[in-house]
Amino acid sequence: MRRSILFSSALCFGLFLSGFPNGYAAEDEELTLNQRLRDQLGKPNIILILADDLGYGDLGCYGQEQIQTPNLDRLAAEGMRFTQCYAGSTVCAPSRACLMTGRHTGHARIRGNGRVPLLPEDVTVAEVLAGADYESGVIGKWGLGLQETTGVPQKQGFSQWLGYLDQTHAHNYYPEFLWRYDSLHGERLVPFPENADGRQGRYSHDVFTLAALNYVRVNRHRPFFLYLAYTIPHANPALGRETGNGMQVPDDAPYTDRDWPQPEKNKAAMITRMDADIGRLVDLLKELKIDDNTLIFFTSDNGPLNVGGVDPEFFRSSGPLRGVKRDLYEGGIRVPMIVRWPGRIAAGQVSDQVWAAWDFLPTVAQLAGASHPRGLDGISIAPTLLGGEQERQHEFLYWEFHERGFQQAVRMGDWKAVRPYVAEPLELYNLKEDPGEEHNVAGANPEIVGQIEEYLENARTESEHWPVKASPRTE
C-alpha cells in the first residue's frame, strides 16, 4: 500500500503541466486494494474550494444579478446553501489558519497577515484526516508558513502541494515560479519562463485547475482531501497602483461589451472563470463515478476587496451587509458557504444555521470517522448537513483583528457586538431585525452588552506575536 501511495503522489503533480495520460492500467492495478478498503469504510472524498476576497453577494445564488456563476448556483441547488456562515477572519492568513486548525482568532497561532508560521504542535485538518487513512493535497494559496519553516504544507499533513507559499507572491497571477512538493521528489520550484520579464504567458489558476483535475484522477481509488485554494478574485495591489487595474485575467469575456469600468469587467470575468473551472471539476467527479462519494465545500476567506481599481458597491459584493474586507462588520466576515454531497445532503436546502470556519475541522473529522484534538473552538455541524438535529450550538462566536489597533467582534444568538477600537464601548446590533448593522442598540440593551463583555474577559489568550495595541485613531 505504501508503494501505491508513493507512486500516485509522484504521478499526480509530475504530469500537471502536460495533461494526464490516456491509460491508467498500472495505476489501477496497484490501487485495487485501496478501492476495496474505501468501499468497505464508505469514507467520503472531501474537497474544500476556497475563493479569495469573494463577497457574500458575489454569486448568483446569493443575489448577484450581473456576474454569471451558473456552476456554483447549480452546486447550491444540488446541496445546501448557508446564509449565516462566517470566515475565520477578515483577512487571508488568519482566516486560513482557522479553517485548518479549528481555532478562532483568539486562540489561533496566526491572527493576522505576517510571517508567523504554523508550528509542529498545531494540528491541521490534513493531519486529522491522515488518522483515517486519507491522502491530502493542497493546490493554490497557502499563506501559513514560508519555505524552511515548520508551517509549509508538507510539515502540516499534506503529502502533495502546488502553489504560492507567500500571500504577497500570490498577488501575481502570472508568476515566474510556483512551489511544489511531493513525497518522492521533495520541495522544489516549478519555473514558468513564459512569465519572465513581466510577460503574461501562463495564468496560475489555469495551472491550479489542471493540477486539481489530475489530483482527483490519480487519487480516485482511495479517500482523499483536496484543499483547492484559488486566489480569485483577489487583486494585484501593486499592479493596481501602477495602472489603476489590478484585476488580472487572460481576457474579460463574457463581459467585453459591457459598459463597465475595466477593473469591474476583469473582476466579473475572474469569478466566472473560476465558476467554469469548478464546473469542470464536478463533471470529472461524475465521469469517474465518484460524485456520490465526494463531499464538496465552497466558501471564501473573507469579504470583498476594495483595492485594485474595483469598488465593492459596483456589484453590491457584500449583498445587504455592512462592510468589506478588513472590517469586522458582517460584510467583512460573513461569506458564501455551499456544501454538496449527492444522496447524503438533501438538494435545494437553504440553512440559517450559524457556524464559522473553525467548525470545518470537527465537521469533516466526524464525517470521515476521524478523531481530532480536544479543546478546539469548533463544533461539528455534520448533523445539520445530514438532516438531523443540531444539538450542539455555539453560544458565542469570536473574532479579533490587529491591523487597525485591536478590534473585536462577537456573535451571540441574533446579537452581534463590534468593538472597532480598543478601550471603546461595544456597538450592538440585532442581526435578525437589522442584518445591515445600521442601528447601534447598545444603549437600549445594557444586560446584553454586559453579558458579552463578561464573555470577552476570557475569550482570548495572549499572543507574543499579536499583542493588544492601542487604537491608531485620533479624535
Q: What is the pLDDT of residues 435-472, one digit of tens each?
A: 999 999 999 999 999 999 999 999 999 999 999 977 66
Residue 220: half-sphere exposure toward Cβ, Cα within 13 Å? 19
Residue 472 is predicted with a pLDDT of 62
The Cα–Cα gap between 414 and 300 comes to: 22
User: Phi, psi at residue 206, to the nearest 5°?
Assistant: -65, -40
pLDDT tens digits, one per residue of 66-102: 999 999 999 999 999 999 999 999 999 999 999 999 9
Tell me the C-alpha to C-alpha distance, in Å, between residue 9 and each of 44, 69, 159.
19, 32, 7
What does the pLDDT read at residue 115?
A: 80
Q: Which ranges of 382-434 does DSSP label H, i.e. alpha helix?
A: 382-385
DSSP 8-state assignment for residue 116 = P
Residue 239: φ, ψ to 5°:
-65, -40
Q: Which pLDDT score, from 0 to 100, does residue 111 have?
A: 97
Q: Report, as an integer, the average pLDDT of 253-259.
A: 98
Of the candidate ranges 18-32, 124-138, 224-238, 325-339, the one whose mean pLDDT is the lowest: 18-32
DSSP 340: E
Confidence of residue 302 (pLDDT cuts 50, 70, 90): very high
Looking at residue 428, what is its pLDDT? 98
CA distances from 406 to 98, 401, 403, 409, 454 (A): 18, 6, 7, 11, 18
pLDDT tier at 473 (50, 70, 90 boundaries)?
Answer: low
Please report the pLDDT score of residue 183 as a whole number.
86
Burial class (CB in 10 A: 0-12, 13-18, 19+), 369: middle
| Residue 450 backbone class (left: φ over 0; alpha: ψ -120 to 50; beta: rest) | alpha
pTM for this predicted structure? 0.92
Report percent pLDDT > 90 for the chain. Answer: 88
pLDDT at 114: 85
The answer to whether the CB of 469 falls within 8 A of the CB of 422 is yes
Q: Give the residue, 425 or 41, on which the prediction is more confident.
A: 425
- The helix (run of H) or strand (run of E) holding residue 408 is strand 407-412
Nearest-CA neighbor of 137 among 319, 42, 286, 5? 5
Neighbour tally for 25: CB within 10 Å: 7
Average pLDDT, the chain: 91
> What's the pLDDT at 172?
97
Residue 211: half-sphere exposure toward Cβ, Cα within 13 Å = 30
pLDDT tens digits, one per residue of 264-286:
999 999 999 999 999 999 999 99
Angle at 329 between CA 325 and CA 333, to 5 degrees: 55
Q: How far from chain centre, in Å, is Cα 343?
A: 24
> Quick one: DSSP state of residue 323?
-
